Amino acid sequence: MIKFPAATARALVLSAVLAPVAVQAAQPAGHYPNRPIRIVVPYSGGSSDVAARLLAVRLSDALKQPVLVDNRPGADGRIGTQYVANANPDGHTLLSILTTHAISGALMKLPYDPIKDFAPVAAMSVAELGMGVHPSVPASNLKEFIAWGRSLPQPLTYATTQIGGNQHLAGELFTLITGVKMTPVPYKGGGDAMAALLGGHVNMYFGSMASMNPVFKSGKVKSIAVTGTARDPEFPNMQTFAEGGIPGLDIRLWYGMLMPAKAPREAIDRISKLVVENVAMPDFRAALAKQGMNPMPMDSAQFGKFLRAEGARYADIVKRANIRIEQ
């Protein structure tokens, strides 16, 4: 056995301890990711799940690593969102979000900060909301609907899938702008909400155009208006809200990706670049279109600015409408 002086032995031990660190530091840029990536969807399904799965396939091909979609539903998305907020910020865990992420902080006390506890990665797409009414409603456009709603002795009813969600706030904003009094009726999901509208249990529903398309075409629901800046090509005779005199009703379903707040810049920029590049591809846009989504690419900086603006805008609507959610 070879014996070393004490000082030399300590130096050799220290070198052995530091060697892995030195190797890691010497790794060239671009070694991320070095294991599978997880995209957490804080719901059991729905449009944010669809968006995540469309993207996961493309990211996996580009990164040469498995990209897994992990559904963690519960508490209207708060369980999965908190999981990502507390996850290891190494860039291997993402959160798939939609508009409700920017709304929730104004409605209730959360175990995380929707802005400060996350790093914006990229925005991907947006889906418009279509306003549909039961055939018994004596209106075929916004002007007629507003006049009818104002004439009623009691508030009209509209279906929502979540108190404090996009559809609920669309209704509250509609009331703030037009003066038409409406009462939200919550349902467990889009299927139940649509069934309530078809059955005449509610007067109206703000649904994604993907879900409204078949009932509009069948005539089972009357199409009144759509969000966005352009008419839906499938329904060229349906006004936008702006054309119908309500330009401020611009609540839309947008989709994006976040990471934990302290995620490495390398990881954020790599995923951000891939999302924006994929959204520019015709075949990916076609895949989005099949799901009723339009491209809305934003890189990390653009998406961060957008998130802050959306949070402030929805906080103003919640305050003006005096919306409260009991926890």
Domains of the chain: 37-126+253-321 (3.40.190.150), 129-240 (3.40.190.10)
**Could you tell me if 212 and 132 are in contact, meaning their C-beta atoms sit under 8 angstroms apart?**
yes
Closest CA to 106 of 326, 315, 321: 315
The whole-angstrom distance between residue 286's C-alpha and the CA centroid of its chain comes to 19
Q: What is the pLDDT of residue 327?
A: 59
Q: What is the pLDDT of residue 30?
A: 52
The whole-angstrom separation of Cα 240 and Cα 247 is 8
The whole-angstrom separation of Cα 18 and Cα 202 is 67
Which has the higher per-residue pLDDT, 11 or 252? 252
The whole-angstrom separation of Cα 123 and Cα 84 is 17
The whole-angstrom separation of Cα 175 and Cα 100 is 20
- Residue 45's Cβ-count burial label (10 Å; 0-12, 13-18, 19+) is exposed
Of 16-25, 211-220, 221-230, 260-269, give the lowest mean pLDDT range. 16-25
Provide the mean pLDDT of the chain: 89
- The residues, any chain, with a CB within 8 Å of residue 74's CB and separated by 6 or more, are 42, 80
Give pLDDT tens digits for 15-71.
Answer: 444 433 333 333 344 589 999 999 999 988 888 888 899 999 999 999 999 999 999
DSSP 69-121: EEE---GGGHHHHHHHHTS--SSSEEEEEETHHHHHHHHS--SS-TTTTEEEE
